């Protein structure tokens, strides 16, 4: 076998969210069987921010997930996992050499990439979005074997194409970021990890004083959305609304999807710890996820000029306010649960 060829016996599993899926699969490879939703919850994956002064694809920046690498960073930290994260690798050759060393040493390696030039993605998935995650688990000549949890099966990508997506330009540029697990405790303290994960998510969603983050950010976006048709005109308002819908349903799982995952985390945690409060919070979170789905459905009808007269921006604004109010109830409930 060529000295530049090595394929790790790594199990590829699809997932709802790229980073929590990649992290869960890396945990599993290292000997800790953990679900994607538990990984997402203890890794503080849930978040919201509305940053109208920043633009993504010429529309306000909105995110329903936490910052890139947060799930891996907080997940490994809260579970007591020894891991390495390398950021801002200036020289692409250095980044690729580091990846090659890991592969030859049998270490599957996660990384942040942009998806616009990700060759194995269907064209309709290729957007200027730099917060995607995948795991490289092998090299064969000039090609790398990739586990991308969006895809049904493992994929391959060339050296040059992998360099391009690792060094994609724009907002949240990955800059060669890569991460991996060194050693793991197969029997971690899940109760402590769950408590830390929930506490941080509650803080992020209702306690950060900045008004564009958490439920306050959802309310701010709701107020702005109502003004868009008069302030910008119908075409630009529809374009901005489309950005909310893309972020809520397409980019990185989306708003409703994240809330379904987090609700599943609360259910699993409640069952594991025999805690009825967590089970009740899980049900509440599932209902907010359904509300996000209803909002995006009616919003899409509006963008396509298929909405009923009453399904205007005022109605959509009221729906977001109700979502914010109901999510706040979930986090306040979680804040009072003693674990």
In this predicted model, what pLDDT tens digit does every residue of 215-253 receive, in sequence order? 999 999 999 999 999 999 989 999 999 888 887 776 545
pLDDT in tens, 187-211: 899 999 999 999 999 999 999 999 9
Measuring CA to CA, which residue among 22, 255, 287, 250 is closest to residue 136? 22
Average pLDDT over residues 26-31: 96
Domain 6-33+82-183, CATH number (from 3.30.70.100, 3.40.50.2300, 3.90.70.10, 3.40.50.300)? 3.90.70.10
Nearest in space to 39 (alpha carbons), one of 83, 96, 89: 83
DSSP string for residues in 17-56? SHHHHHHHHHHHHTT----HHHHHHHTT-EEEEEEEEEEE
280 three-class SS: helix
What is the C-alpha to C-alpha distance for residues 79 and 186, in angstroms, rounded to an integer? 10
pTM above 0.85, yes or no: yes
Give residue 254's pLDDT: 53
- What are the extents of the domains in the chain? 6-33+82-183, 190-336
Average pLDDT, rounded, for the chain? 92
- In 3D space, the residue among 249, 218, 239 whose CA is nearest the CA of residue 303 turns out to be 239
Compute the distance between CA of residue 283 and CA of residue 272 in angstroms, rounded to an integer: 16
Residue 155: is its pLDDT beyond 50? yes
Asked whether the beta carbons of 288 and 248 are under 8 A apart, the reply is no
**Residue 120 is inside which H or E element, if any?**
none
Model confidence at 16, pLDDT cuts 50, 70, 90, reads confident
Which residue intervals of 179-275 are DSSP H helices? 190-202, 214-232, 234-249, 255-273
Q: Rg of the chain's alpha carbons, rounded to an integer?
A: 20
pLDDT tens profile 251-310: 545 557 889 999 999 999 999 999 999 999 999 999 999 999 999 989 988 887 766 666
* Chain-centroid distance, C-alpha 338: 27
């Amino acid at each position: 076998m060529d000295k530049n060829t090595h394929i790790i016996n790594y199990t590829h599993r699809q997932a709802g969210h790229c980073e929590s899926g990649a992290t869960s699969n890396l945990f599993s490879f290292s000997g800790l069987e953990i679900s994607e939703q538990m990984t997402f919850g203890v890794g503080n994956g849930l978040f919201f921010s509305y940053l109208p002064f920043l633009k993504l694809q010429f529309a306000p920046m909105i995110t329903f997930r936490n910052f890139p690498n947060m799930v891996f960073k907080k997940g490994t930290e809260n579970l007591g996992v020894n891991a390495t994260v390398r950021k801002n690798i200036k020289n692409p050759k250095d980044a690729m050499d580091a990846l090659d060393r890991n592969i030859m040493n049998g270490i599957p390696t996660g990384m942040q990439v942009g998806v616009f030039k990700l060759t194995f993605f269907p064209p309709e998935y290729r957007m200027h979005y730099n917060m995607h995650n995948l795991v490289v688990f092998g090299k064969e000549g000039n090609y790398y074997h990739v586990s991308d949890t969006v895809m049904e099966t493992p994929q391959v990508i060339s050296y040059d194409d992998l360099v391009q997506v690792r060094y994609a330009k724009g907002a949240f540029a990955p800059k060669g970021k890569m991460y991996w697990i060194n050693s793991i405790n197969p029997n971690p303290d899940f109760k402590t990890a769950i408590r830390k994960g929930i506490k941080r998510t509650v803080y992020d969603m209702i306690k950060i004083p900045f008004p564009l983050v958490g439920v306050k950010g959802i309310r701010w976006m709701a107020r702005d959305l109502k003004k868009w048709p008069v302030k910008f005109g119908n075409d630009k308002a529809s374009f901005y609304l489309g950005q909310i819908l893309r972020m809520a349903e397409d980019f990185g799982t989306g708003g409703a999807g994240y809330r379904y995952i987090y609700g599943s985390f609360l259910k699993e945690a409640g069952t594991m710890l025999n805690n009825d409060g967590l089970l009740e919070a899980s049900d509440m979170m599932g209902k907010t996820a359904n509300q996000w789905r209803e909002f995006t459905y009616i919003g899409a009808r509006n963008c396509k000029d298929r909405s009923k007269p009453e399904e205007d921006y005022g109605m959509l604004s009221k729906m977001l306010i109700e979502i914010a109010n109901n999510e706040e109830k979930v986090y306040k409930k979680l804040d009072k649960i003693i674990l």
